[in-house]
C-alpha cells in the first residue's frame, strides 16, 4: 500500500493507549487496530478529524505517502 498510517507513532508520542483513544474518538478497538496495522482500505474524513483532535495533530502526522516504485 502506498499510504502508510502512522497512528502508532502518534499514540506513542502522546502516551495514549488504544483503549483511551478508542473512547475519545468513539471507535471500536477492532477498527482502530485495523487502522493502526495498516490493513484499512479507506478512512472517513470524520474519523480522521476525530483522530487529529484526540491526538492534537495534523492529518499529515498520521498519513504518509510512500512511493513503492523506488
Strand 63-65 versus strand 3-5 pairing type: antiparallel
pLDDT at position 14, please? 96
In SS3 terms, the chain reads as CCEEECHHHHHHHCCCCHHHHHHHHCCCHHHHHHHHCCCCCCCCHHHHHHHHHHHCCCHHHHEEECCCCC
Q: pLDDT digit string (tens) for 9-56?
A: 999 999 999 999 999 999 999 999 999 998 999 999 999 999 999 999
Residue spans of the domains in the chain: they are 3-58
Q: Is the pLDDT of residue 1 over 60?
A: no
pLDDT at position 19, please? 96
* Single pTM value for the model: 0.90
Q: Which of 50, 9, 10 is nearest to 26 (CA)?
A: 50
CATH of 3-58, one of 1.10.260.40, 3.40.30.10, 1.10.10.10, 1.10.760.10: 1.10.260.40
Amino acid at each position: 500500500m502506498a499510504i502508510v498510517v502512522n497512528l502508532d507513532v502518534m499514540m506513542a508520542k502522546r502516551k495514549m493507549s488504544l483503549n483511551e483513544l478508542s473512547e475519545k474518538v468513539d471507535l471500536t478497538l477492532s477498527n482502530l487496530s485495523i487502522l493502526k496495522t495498516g490493513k484499512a482500505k479507506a478512512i472517513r474524513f470524520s474519523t480522521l478529524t476525530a483522530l487529529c483532535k484526540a491526538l492534537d495533530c495534523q492529518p499529515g502526522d498520521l498519513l504518509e505517502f510512500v512511493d513503492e516504485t523506488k
